[in-house]
Each structure stands twice: as C-alpha cells, then as structure tokens.
Chains A and B, each alone.
Chain A
Amino acid sequence: MAEKSGADILVQCLVDLGVEVVFGYPGGAVLPIYDALYNHPTIKHVLVRHEQGATHMAEGYARSTGKPGVVLVTSGPGATNAVTGITDALMDSIPMVVITGQVPTQLIGTDAFQEADTIGITRHCTKHNYLVKSPAKLAEVVHEAFHIATTGRPGPVVVDIPKNVQIATAPYAKPELKVHASYHPQTKADAAGIDAAVEMLAAAERPILYTGGGVINSGPQATALLRELAALTGAPVTSTLMGLGAFPASSDQWLGMLGMHGTYEANWAMNQADLILCIGARFDDRVTGRLDAFAPNSRKIHIDIDRSSINKIVDVDVAIVADVGSALDDIIALWKQRNHRQVDLTEWWARIAGWRARKSLDYAENGVEIMPQRAIADLYAATKATGKDVIITTEVGQHQMWAAQHFGFDAPNKWLTSGGLGTMGYGFPAAIGAQMGNPDSIAICIAGDASVQMNIQELGTASQYRLPVKLFILNNEYMGMVRQWQELTYESRYSNSYSDSLPDFVKLGEAYGWTGIRIEGPQELEAGIRQMLETDGPVIVDCRVAKMSNCFPMIPSGAAHTEMLLDPSQVEGVMSDEAKALV
C-alpha cells in the first residue's frame, strides 16, 4: 500500500468525511498540513484573523448547516486562543472538530517554542480529545473524532497532532467505522418512559411544552415532529434561548421565550402548569429562576440525549434518555395508536390569554431616540419583506435578549447565539461562518457596541472572502447588561461599564472595504435598514439607540417566575447578599 504523510492522511480523511470548509490560521506546528491544503481542489480554507474567530465561525457554520465545523490552528497560542470557542461549543452542544498542531513528540514536555499542553488544557472543555503520536493511528482517530463530535449530544473534539507525526509516513486506507469500545450514546427511548409520557400528556389539563436546543440539534425531522405533537395535544409551547426557531413564532400556540428575559405568559404558564414536557432543554438557571419556586405543582417529563442533564438541577417524574426526534416519533406513534384525543384546554388557554394581555414585551417610545426593541422589530419586518432566507447571530448582552424577544423565528438553524457560555465576541465570526455555509442567505449579526469589539478583527476575513455579512450594531455606548445589573444591584454605580473611546464604526468598516451606515434617529431607521439589506457586499451599521434602555421583562436573580419585573418602575431597593451572590 502506498504510504502517505500524516498531513496528507489528515487531509484525505477530511475529504472522505465530506469536509468542505476549514476555518484556521497557520503557524509553525501546522505548516505540513497547510502545505497539504495548498491549492486543494475541494477543501476551502478560510483564513481568520484570530483563532477564537475560527472557532466561532465553525460554530456558526455548524449551527446553520447541521454539519460539523472544522478548525485548524497551530500549537501553543493557536490552541489556547481557540479554547473559548471550544468551551462555547461544549456548553451549546455544537459539533466541532479542532485540529491543533503540536511540537514534535521528542520535544513534548520540554517547554519547547510554542508548546502548550493542549490536551491538558482542553480536557475539560471538549467532549473528547486526542494526542496522535503515530501517523498510522491518525486516520482512525480523525474518523472517530468526527463520529464523536456529531453523534449523541454533539460537542467539540480536539485532535492534537505533533509536527513530526504530520511529516512521517504510514500506509493509508479509509478506516471502516467500527463499534466503539465504550462510546454508545442512547438514542432510542425505553418504552416505559414513552408510555408514561403519552398517558400523562393525554391526562394533563394545563400542559406546556418546554423546548430547547436539543430539538434543533436533533435535526429537521425533530422540528417537524414537535409541530405535530403541539398540534395533537394543543399544548402551548415555550423555548429556551437555544431552541428558538424549533417551533414557529408565528403560531398561536407559541408563548415566546421563557426564563430571565422571557415573556410574562411563558413564565406564568411554566409556573401554573400541571405537566411540563421538557424536550431537549436542561433546566438552566437562566430558565428556572429560584429553584424552590420553579413550577411547584407540575409533574415533569424530561427528554434528553444526555443522561447527566436529567435530574441535574430539577428532579423529574419521567426521564426519557433519547434523541429528541426519535422520542417524539415514539410519543406521537403511541398517542395515535391509543386514539388519544386532545384534552379540552379552553380554560388553560383563557388563563394564558390573561397573561398575554399584560403585553410584557411592550416598550415606550419617545420619538427622539431609537428604542433598541424598535430597531430589532423593524429589522425583523424588513428582512421578512425581502422573502429571502435570513440567519441571525448575536453577541451577548442586552441586544441579544432584545433580538430573542422581538425577532420572530419560524424555522430552525436560523438563530445562532451563545447561550451557555455567554461569549461576547461570538456573533460576528458566527455570522461569517453561517454566510460561508449558506451563500444565498442573508447573514446578519445583531451586536452591541461593546461585544462586537471582542472579535472586530474579523472584518478583514469577511472582506477577503467577499462574504456579504451584515453587522448591525445597537450602539448605546454601554456594556448595557452590566450597566443594567449595576442599576438593579449596586445602586447604579457604573463601575467600568461605559464604552469609552468607541471607534467610528462607519470609518472602521470603510477601512476594511465595507459599506458603513450610521442611523442616528427614528426617522432614519427604516431607510438605514433597507439600505443595509439592499447593499450587495458586507455592511456595518452603527445604529445609535437609546442609551439607558433596559431589558424587560426580567426575573431578577434569586426570584421566582411569578416575581417578574415588567418595567423599570418596579425596580426598587437594594438586593440581599444572597441574591447578589447568584450569577
């Protein structure tokens, strides 16, 4: 058999695995791989400006296409710069494979130039990781890495390849996918759980479907089945931040997002429900509010592919360890087989209508300043009017919550945001990655003035690859969410939350060959957004919004779903130390 170098074996594996795009940055310890990629006919390499950007691009690519994102970085600083994005992918269950160069095996452990203990550093922020010490092992490891990253609960996998392993040769044959010795994620639910779930659903008088990112990870089939289950049961549907788009926001059964900045109706319905069906969500602290007051009179069913998510925070009555799509399929089949009819939920819906009538997402406008919520709502309306496929990414902060509240998502994989880790700097590179994977879609990053600066260097990447991404900055000259918490918790002592010395974003964009637009008042908003959408290339928009707006409704930390603040006038007093100590 003909021998190949480790670098050639790696590239051949990527081809065999159907990889089309690699986001990366070269360096000493990956030069052999970069040489193998030189002028490659099928694998496109996207040269980023910072390795963290590469990881978020891979996340954006993965989340919007359903395919794994692939990152290639060098040893030492290349790998450590990737750590934030790797951790982000772990928290949000994004399939990603990160190839890192490493110093040659004989230098490992000697504090060699650009050496870092990549395996040690990434051990707890990856689903799994590998140090490959022989080119003969490389093919098997790379195939296994993709298998692990994309199956079960998806996540990031790091493959660390020393430079001499990239150069040394070994015989290559495409490896057969063999049964793994210890990795067997359960995807098919046990019958008892399905049976219990169906009977409980058929008997519930106040049911609610609480859905999360797992529905989207499970694939388009799961989203379709969720819609079918909602239609069969007539139950209201709410979702976590990560699950937006799995159920259409335009549906009458949609209650909006739940949790800290969720709607009044979603949180009250969770609190008053007699049955919560949790589908691919994980009872995160941002969702539950104060635990001892969380959904006190409900029975709970939890569908999750990761057994460790079940009973981690909230104890449930029925645990279903399975892929969401498979479990929903089973539930629907059994529901039909038993000829269950929809329970009369008229009374339940009447109560929900009462909560809806509070119009918790409403906001006051003064005609002088652009309210950030208005900017999002107008952006939503304008993108919808284009009739094109739109993908929204966000950074992290107030703008992220406003986008979640005021942009309606009717389809999965169109909403990319950093939920678990809450990584400022995620959104802009994620939009670049999404645009790369969806060249015909409009990829828009809704950003804040502070977080956009965390990976602003990627302006150059979008220019280089002629990616027409739109960067829509809600500029209030503050780290708004930090400032909001300082108002709520620290008597408005704005310690370091003012965005001093902001760049001129329009000129900054123009310096990179982008179109820059500034929107300064309500009368410019509609035209500014239209101009952004009609411009062919990349556009940066500096949308000046009301500086002191805060994000409501809000469940303050340590409070229950029923203790939502609907507007700033309800904020009073100073928080207790117990509440301050919560994140």
Chain B
Amino acid sequence: MHIQEELSQRHVLSLTVSNEAGILARIAGLFTARGYNIDSLTVADITQDHGVSRITIVTNGPPKVIDQIIAQLDRLVPVHKVTDLTENGPFVERELALVKVAGIGEDRIEALRLADVFRAKVVDTTIESFIFEITGTTEKIDNFVGLMRQIGLVEVGRTGVVGLIRGKDAN
C-alpha cells in the first residue's frame, strides 16, 4: 500500500487576531494538529493599543483543504477575521531578506551589479563580504538568492510574507 499525495495550491492568508498570550501557539498548533502546511508565518501587532495583531500565513493545499484551513482558523475564539488574499482579488505581498555574500575580485563586483538590478541595498560590508537587504515577492527573493548562491552565498535570513489587499479599503 502507498499513500497518495494531492496537488497543492499556494495561498496567502491574512488574519487579524486578539493580541493575547498563546495565540501564536494556538494557530501554529492548529496547522500541525490537522496536518496543514505552513510555508511562512509572520506576526506583529498592528494597532495603537497593541490589542490586535496581523498574522500572515503562506500555506499550500488542495482547494478543499484551503477552505477547511480558513474555516478552522475562523472558529478560534481570538481570531477576528481571516482573509484569503489569493482569492480576494489583487493584493500586494512582500518579504524582506538579508543575504550575506562573500567573495573577492570579479565575484564582488558581480554581486553588487546583481544587487543593483534587484534593487537590493548594501547594509553591511567588509573587504570580502556584503550583507544585502532586499524586499519583494517570494519569487524575486528566491531568484536573487539563487544567483548569489553561484557567487558565494554565506547565509540568508528571511521574514516571511506580509500582504494587504490593494485599494483604499481595509479587508
């Protein structure tokens, strides 16, 4: 007997939640308990009184599973609202990465040239290394990191995705 896998789609979910102790464990635990995937998860409080946080989760799964994920998240008591950005019209998503690259000579110059193409900023430098700061979509950062790997990638730190619906209204 073999276990069959289903085809997955990537979805970006945006949640507003009460900023209370254990909320992150509650959400992360729901994903593990029900066997859902988390590609990335970001969280920070977003209101003046620190009462509400936004959590952005990038997940993947078949449509039925995505629907279940949203329903399950929505029934957690401290969750105010769940929005599937991928389903709800155009949205902006960004990720920030810090990318450390080491090299000398032509490699160093090529790294700078590529960084310029990707509009990455140098935020730290030594004679033989740079740390670049880059923001963009996950794909853009993947591409940048992929190129840097060929030059002399040392390490990467990424924030995971945050996203908002386009237009003037709050979702």
Tell me if A311 is interfacial: C-beta within 8 Å of chain B. yes
CB B46 to nearest CB in A, in angstroms, measures: 14
Which residue on chain A has the smallest CB distance to residue B69?
Answer: A308
Question: What size tier do the contact residues of chain A reach?
Answer: 20 to 34
Tell me if B38 is interfacial: C-beta within 8 Å of chain A. no
Known: A308-B68, A311-B64, A312-B68. A183 touches B26 (CB 8 A): no
A124 touches B1 (CB 8 A): no
Tell me if A182 is interfacial: C-beta within 8 Å of chain B. yes
Contact digits for B20-49, partner A, Cβ 8 Å, 1 yes 0 no? 011001100110010000000000000000
A123 touches B29 (CB 8 A): yes
A182 touches B1 (CB 8 A): no
A182 touches B72 (CB 8 A): no
Contact digits for B67-78, partner A, Cβ 8 Å, 1 yes 0 no? 110011011111
Contact digits for A169-203, partner B, Cβ 8 Å, 1 yes 0 no? 00000000000111100000000000000000000
B71 touches A119 (CB 8 A): no
Contacts of B17 in A (CB 8 A): 182
B1 touches A581 (CB 8 A): yes
Q: Which of A180, A307, A578, A581 has the most CB of B within 10 A?
A: A307
B67 touches A311 (CB 8 A): yes
Contacts of B68 in A (CB 8 A): 308, 311-312
Contacts of B26 in A (CB 8 A): 123
Q: Which of A153, A181, A311 has the most CB of B within 10 A?
A: A181
Distance between Cα atoms of A123 and B27 in the complex (Å): 10
Distance between Cα atoms of A312 and B21 in the complex (Å): 29
A131 touches B1 (CB 8 A): no
Contacts of A577 in B (CB 8 A): 1
B75 touches A131 (CB 8 A): no
Contacts of A148 in B (CB 8 A): 77
Which residue on chain A has the smallest CB distance to residue B75?
Answer: A308
Tell me if B80 is interfacial: C-beta within 8 Å of chain A. yes
Contact of B29 among A124, A127, A310, A581 (CB under 8 A): A124
Contact of B30 among A124, A153, A306 (CB under 8 A): A124
Tell me if B115 is interfacial: C-beta within 8 Å of chain A. no
Tell me if B112 is interfacial: C-beta within 8 Å of chain A. no
Tell me if B138 is interfacial: C-beta within 8 Å of chain A. no
B74 touches A119 (CB 8 A): no
Known: A308-B74, A578-B1. A131 touches B80 (CB 8 A): no
Tell me if B122 is interfacial: C-beta within 8 Å of chain A. no
Which residue on chain A has the smallest CB distance to residue B33?
Answer: A124
CB B136 to nearest CB in A, in angstroms, measures: 32
Distance between Cα atoms of A124 and B76 in the complex (Å): 10
Tell me if A354 is interfacial: C-beta within 8 Å of chain B. no
Distance between Cα atoms of A312 and B78 in the complex (Å): 22
A307 touches B71 (CB 8 A): yes
Known: A123-B25, A306-B75, A307-B74. A181 touches B64 (CB 8 A): no
Which residue on chain B has the smallest CB distance to residue A308?
Answer: B71
Contact of B77 among A128, A306, A307, A578 (CB under 8 A): A128
Distance between Cα atoms of A237 and B77 in the complex (Å): 34
Tell me if A120 is interfacial: C-beta within 8 Å of chain B. yes
Contact of A120 among B25, B30, B51, B64 (CB under 8 A): B25
Which residue on chain A has the smallest CB distance to residue B79?
Answer: A182
A183 touches B77 (CB 8 A): yes
Tell me if B83 is interfacial: C-beta within 8 Å of chain A. no
Tell me if B18 is interfacial: C-beta within 8 Å of chain A. yes
Contacts of A182 in B (CB 8 A): 17-18, 77-80
Which residue on chain A has the smallest CB distance to residue B67?
Answer: A311
Distance between Cα atoms of A127 and B75 in the complex (Å): 9
CB A357 to nearest CB in B, in angstroms, measures: 39
Distance between Cα atoms of A123 and B64 in the complex (Å): 25
A181 touches B67 (CB 8 A): no
Contacts of A312 in B (CB 8 A): 68, 71
CB A325 to nearest CB in B, in angstroms, measures: 20
CB B146 to nearest CB in A, in angstroms, measures: 38
Contacts of A183 in B (CB 8 A): 77
Q: Which of A183, A315, A577, A578 has the most CB of B within 10 A?
A: A183
B72 touches A127 (CB 8 A): no
A-contacting residues, B75-112, CB 8 Å: 75-80
13 of the cross-chain contacts (CB-CB < 8 Å) are A124-B29, A127-B77, A128-B76, A128-B78, A148-B77, A181-B51, A181-B80, A182-B17, A306-B75, A307-B75, A311-B67, A315-B64, A577-B1
| Among all A-B residue pairs, the 3 with the closest Cβ atoms | A308-B71, A577-B1, A128-B77
**Chain B residues within CB distance 8 Å of chain A:** 1, 17-18, 21-22, 25-26, 29-30, 33, 51, 64, 67-68, 71-72, 74-80
